[in-house]
C-alpha cells in the first residue's frame, strides 16, 4: 500500500456527503424489498440482498445501518426503521446460545441506540433506556457462556464447537465489555459470579497468543502480523493443536477479513482501555502488560495489512490465494476486482480501515511518533472505498460497497461472468462497517464527539 499522498478527514467531506446519500437509498431499498421471514439479508446476488442459512449473524448490521444513517444525517425516518426493527425483531439474538456473534448483532442495534441516548442525540424515556441496557447486559452474559478453557486462560468458542477459536470474535468481545460496563455479571453453578471483563480479556489474549503470529517463539517460522482464521484446541486438556480456516484458503495463509477483524478489534479495545477499571481484570493481567501485548499485536497486524495489500489498500480475499501468482506484481498496482484469478474483498478493507484509524489515534494520544502513518492508511483506504469502482451508484443495486466476498472456498459468491472471479456484489457486514468508518471520519472532520462503541456505557 502506498502512503505518500497526505490526506485529512476533511478532504473526504464531499465523498462522505455522496456516501450518505447513496447509503440512505440502499437502507430504504432493503427495508422495502427484503422479506425478513426468509432470514437475515447476508449478501447480494445480481444486486439484490439474499439470505444464506448458516447463522443469522447479519441482522444486526441491517438495522444498525439504519441507526448509523440517522446518526450521520439526522433523518428521523432511519431512526424509526432502526428502533422499531430492533425492538420487534432482535430479541431472539439476545438469548441465542449457538453463536459467537453477539457483539455484531446486539451492540450494533441496542448498543447504538443506547449510545445515541447517552450522546444526547435522541430523547428517550427511562424505560426505553433501561430496556436497551437490559438487552445489552443479557447479550454479553449469554455470549460469555460459550466458554472453553485453555492451559493459560480461555476463549469464547465459535459456532463450530468448543474446540474452535475464531479470530472474528475478538470484535464480538465488545458485548462482554459493554455488559460489564453496565454493571452485569454472569452467574454460574451455585450462584458463582463470573466476571465478564475477565473473560473478554482472556479471550483477547488467547486470540493474540494463538491466532496472531508474531514471528518469534512458536511462530519463528512465520511472519509477524499474519493471522489464522480458526485455532483448534484439545477440549480435554485445553492444549493448542493447530491452525485451521473456514473462509480462508488454508490455516497457513491469511484470510484478509480475519486479519481485518483483528486490526479493528485491537484498535477499539486499546482506545477504551483507560476507561476500564484495572482492578476488575487485574487477576488475569495488569493493565501495563495487557496494553503492551495489544499494542504489539495491533502494530504487527496493521503492518502486515499494509505490506500485503495493493497500492490503494483494498486486499484480495486471502494473501495466500492459490492463483495470485498468475497476476504478476499485483501488490505494486491498484486492486483489480475484474480479474480472472482471485477476488477482491472490499469488506475486509471496510473493517480494517476503521481499525487502522483507531490504532493511529490511540498511538498519537500515547505520544507515539508513528500514529499518523496508520491514520493516513485508514483514510486512504476509505478514499478508495468511497469512489468507483467500489461505491455502488446504481439505484437498482441494494448494496453500498461493491466487490465483497463471503465464502470463496464454498463458492457462495455470485459470478456474473464465468471467465472472471466473483465481483460486483455487496455484503451486509461490509456495508455496515463502511458506515461505521464513514461516521468515524465524519465526526473527526467536524470536531464532534469521538465515535466509540463504549459511549453506550457512559452517561
Q: Can you say which residues are annotated as belonging to the binding site for substrate?
A: 101, 168, 257, 261
What phi and psi, each to the nearest 5 degrees, are found at residue 297?
-70, -40
- Phi-psi domain of 54 (left: phi exceeds 0; alpha: psi -120 through 50; beta: other): alpha
Contact 263, 359 (CB under 8 A): yes
What phi and psi, each to the nearest 5 degrees, are found at residue 186?
-95, 130
Residue from 39, 267, 249, 90 nearest 174 by CA: 267
Binding residues: 101, 168, 257, 261
Cα gap 285→282, rounded to integer Å: 5
Cα gap 412→52, rounded to integer Å: 9
Instruction: Judge whether 219 counts as a catalytic residue.
Output: no
DSSP string over 244-309: E-SSSS-TTS-BHHHHHHHHHHHHHHHHHGGGS-HHHHTTT--HHHHHHHHHHHHHHHHHHHHHTS
Contact 355, 377 (CB under 8 A): no
Write b or e for each residue in 64-77: b if 16 or more Cβ atoms lie within 10 A of its Cβ, otherwise e: bbbbbbbbbbeeee
Cα gap 318→222, rounded to integer Å: 16
Instruction: Judge whether 101 counts as a catalytic residue.
Output: yes
Provide the greatest CA pair distance for the chain. Answer: 62
Catalytic residue among 14, 35, 71, 101: 101
Cα angle at 64 between 71 and 383, to 5 degrees? 65
428-446 vs 13-33: helix crossing angle, rounded to 10: 140
| Burial status of residue 245 (CB atoms within 10 A of its CB: 0-12, 13-18, 19 or more) | buried
Cα gap 414→388, rounded to integer Å: 20
**Is residue 127 within a helix (H) or strand (E), and if so which, with residue range?**
helix 126-144
Catalytic residue among 168, 312, 345, 413: 168
Cα angle at 267 between 59 and 284, to 5 degrees? 100
* Catalytic residue set: 101, 168
Amino acid at each position: 500500500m502506498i502512503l505518500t499522498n497526505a490526506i485529512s478527514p476533511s478532504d473526504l467531506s464531499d465523498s462522505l456527503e455522496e456516501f450518505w446519500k447513496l447509503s440512505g437509498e440502499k437502507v430504504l431499498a432493503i427495508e422495502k424489498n427484503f422479506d425478513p421471514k426468509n432470514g437475515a439479508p447476508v449478501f447480494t446476488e445480481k444486486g439484490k440482498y439474499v439470505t444464506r442459512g448458516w447463522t443469522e449473524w447479519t441482522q444486526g448490521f441491517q438495522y444498525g445501518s439504519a441507526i448509523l444513517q440517522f446518526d450521520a444525517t439526522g433523518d428521523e425516518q432511519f431512526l424509526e426503521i432502526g428502533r422499531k426493527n430492533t425492538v420487534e425483531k432482535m430479541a431472539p439474538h439476545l438469548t441465542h446460545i449457538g453463536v459467537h456473534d453477539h457483539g455484531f448483532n446486539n451492540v450494533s442495534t441496542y448498543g447504538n441506540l443506547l449510545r445515541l441516548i447517552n450522546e444526547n442525540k435522541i430523547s428517550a424515556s427511562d424505560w426505553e433506556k433501561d430496556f436497551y441496557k437490559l438487552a445489552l447486559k443479557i447479550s454479553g452474559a449469554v455470549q460469555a457462556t460459550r466458554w472453553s478453557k485453555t492451559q493459560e486462560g480461555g476463549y469464547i468458542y465459535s459456532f463450530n464447537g468448543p474446540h474452535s477459536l475464531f479470530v472474528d470474535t475478538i470484535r464480538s468481545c465488545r458485548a462482554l465489555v459493554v455488559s460489564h460496563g453496565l454493571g452485569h455479571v454472569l452467574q454460574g453453578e451455585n450462584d458463582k459470579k463470573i466476571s465478564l471483563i475477565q473473560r473478554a480479556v482472556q479471550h483477547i489474549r488467547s486470540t493474540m497468543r494463538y491466532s496472531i503470529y508474531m514471528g518469534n517463539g512458536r511462530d519463528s517460522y512465520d511472519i509477524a502480523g499474519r493471522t489464522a482464521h480458526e485455532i483448534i484446541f484439545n477440549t480435554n486438556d485445553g492444549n493448542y493443536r493447530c491452525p485451521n480456516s473456514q473462509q480462508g484458503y488454508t490455516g497457513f495463509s491469511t484470510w484478509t477479513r480475519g486479519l481485518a477483524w483483528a486490526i479493528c478489534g485491537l484498535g477499539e479495545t486499546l482506545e477504551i482501555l483507560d476507561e476500564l477499571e484495572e482492578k476488575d481484570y487485574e487477576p488475569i493481567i495488569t493493565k501495563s502488560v495487557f496494553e503492551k501485548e495489544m499494542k504489539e499485536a495491533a502494530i504487527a497486524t496493521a503492518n502486515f495489512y499494509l505490506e500485503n495489500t495493493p497500492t490503494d489498500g483494498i486486499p484480495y480475499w486471502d494473501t495466500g490465494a492459490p492463483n495470485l501468482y498468475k497476476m504478476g506484481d499485483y501488490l505494486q498496482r491498484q486492486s483489480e476486482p475484474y480479474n480472472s484469478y482471485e477476488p477482491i474483498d472490499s469488506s475486509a478493507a471496510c473493517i480494517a480501515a476503521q481499525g487502522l484509524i483507531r490504532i493511529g489515534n490511540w498511538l498519537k494520544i500515547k505520544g507515539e511518533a508513528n500514529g499518523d502513518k496508520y491514520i493516513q492508511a485508514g483514510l486512504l483506504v476509505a478514499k478508495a472505498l468511497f469512489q468507483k469502482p467500489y461505491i455502488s451508484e446504481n439505484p437498482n443495486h441494494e448494496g453500498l460497497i461493491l466487490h465483497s466476498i463471503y465464502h470463496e472456498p464454498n463458492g457462495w459468491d455470485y459470478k456474473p461472468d464465468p471467465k472472471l472471479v466473483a465481483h460486483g456484489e455487496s455484503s451486509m457486514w461490509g456495508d455496515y462497517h463502511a458506515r461505521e468508518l464513514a461516521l468515524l471520519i465524519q465526526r473527526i472532520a467536524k470536531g464532534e464527539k469521538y465515535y466509540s462503541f463504549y459511549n453506550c456505557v457512559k452517561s
